[in-house]
Structure 1
Amino acid sequence: MKNLDSLDRRILRELQKDGRLSNTELSERINLSQTATTERVKRLTRDGYILGYTAKLSPKKLDRAMLVFVEIKLDRTTPDVFATFAAATRRNPDVMECHMVAGGFDYLIKARVADMEHYRRFLSDALLSLPGVRETHTYAVMEEVKESSALPV
């Protein structure tokens, strides 16, 4: 972040709040000309600070109201087992995030499903059926206290 000045940071903060801002609205919010704003956004994108734009969807309305976190412990940690596991999780639409972690288990998965019945099916068909999976621990979320993808800028 060494190359970012205060205007760059303001642009990033505003776009994190609302990625649909027009260049005109953005330039007004940061008090900079439209041309200069456009050039800064292009540079921030080219330099990899802005990775893309998405819409935030309602899990409840899309029948994905149940959020679960699953710890996965593998029986062996070999490159082929890691590759197979990673490929399977990338293909699975129920998996929102999958992280290889250090500590008492190997992977942490964040998944969204409709309900407990769907979760049981997801667990048996998508996770426990993978080669190398030895153990899982599931944490069903009762209340989402804070959910954000915004980074401090």
Structure 2
Amino acid sequence: MSKNSKTDRQLDQYDHNMLAILSQYGRISVTDLADKVGLSKSPCQVRLKRLQQDGYIKGFRAELNAELLGLEHVAFAEVKLKNTSESSLEAFNEAARKITEIEQCHMIAGAFDYLLKVRTRDIQAYRRVLGEKISTLPNVQSTSTYVCMQAVKENGVLEV
């Protein structure tokens, strides 16, 4: 399946069920996954491999506890660029990907160009990241910051 065509192959109910379970329990064994979706182990493994190869499953990773790691401070930064030519956008994108404190970077259609989710130890660390890293990214004209007081929902589980 080409990664740009979502219609090359339709997912059936088994695929949808597997994706729903895996989105919440990424470390589930193939045997347990097969039991939950009503398949035997071998067909479940084949489907799992195909879902990975087709790009429906991008990977597996551990969800880390930001509080225990001392990275509780979250801020959202709006970024407006001086210009939005394709080369300016690509230069910004490439440089933003290298800043480890930027947890998410989204190009936005609206009054500003990018929305960044930035995770640091505290407000002082965020201020340093903003001044030394974000504000010096290519073509940045201005930034505005919104400090997160509480994360109400962050699980990122997709309904399939």
- Kindly report which structure 2 residues correspond to 1:4-153, keeping only aligned pairs within 5 A, or say none: 4-153=11-160
* Matched length: 153
The 3-state SS of whatever aligns with 2:97 is helix
Query: 4+ residue runs of structure 1 moved beyond 2 angstroms?
Result: 78-81
Instruction: Output one character per residue of 1:38-59: Cα deviation in whole Å (capped at 9) or x when no partner.
Output: 1111111111111110110011
CA distance in 1, matches of 2:145, 2:137: 16
Inter-partner Cα distance in structure 2 for 1:67 and 1:38: 38
Contact 2:95 / 2:138 at 8 angstroms: preserved in 1? no
Q: Which amino acid aligns with 2:128?
A: R
RMSD: 1.3
Structure 1: runs of 5+ lacking an equivalent: none
- AA matched with 1:138: T
Q: Percent identity?
A: 39
The answer to whether the 8 Å contact 2:77/2:116 transfers is: yes
Partners of 2:61 and 2:81 in 1: how far apart? Answer: 33
Residue 17 of structure 1 and its aligned partner are, at CA, apart by 1.1
Q: With the length of structure 2 as denominator, give the TM-score of the two structures.
A: 0.91
Worse-matched range after superposition: 65-74 or 77-86 = 77-86
TM-score (normalised: structure 1): 0.94
Tell me the distance in 2 between the aligned counterparts of 1:134 and 1:92: 18
- What's the secondary structure of 2:129's corresponding residue? helix
How many angstroms apart in 2 are the aligned matches of 1:41 and 1:12? 9
Ranges in structure 2 where 5+ consecutive residues have no aligned partner: 1-5
Cα shift readout 1:10-42 (whole Å, capped 9, x = no counterpart): 111111111101111111111210011111111
Amino acid aligned to 1:41: L
Deviation at 1:94, TM superposition (A): 0.1
Q: Distance in 2 between matches of 1:79 and 1:148?
A: 33
Which residue identity lines up with residue 98 of structure 2 in the other structure?
Answer: R
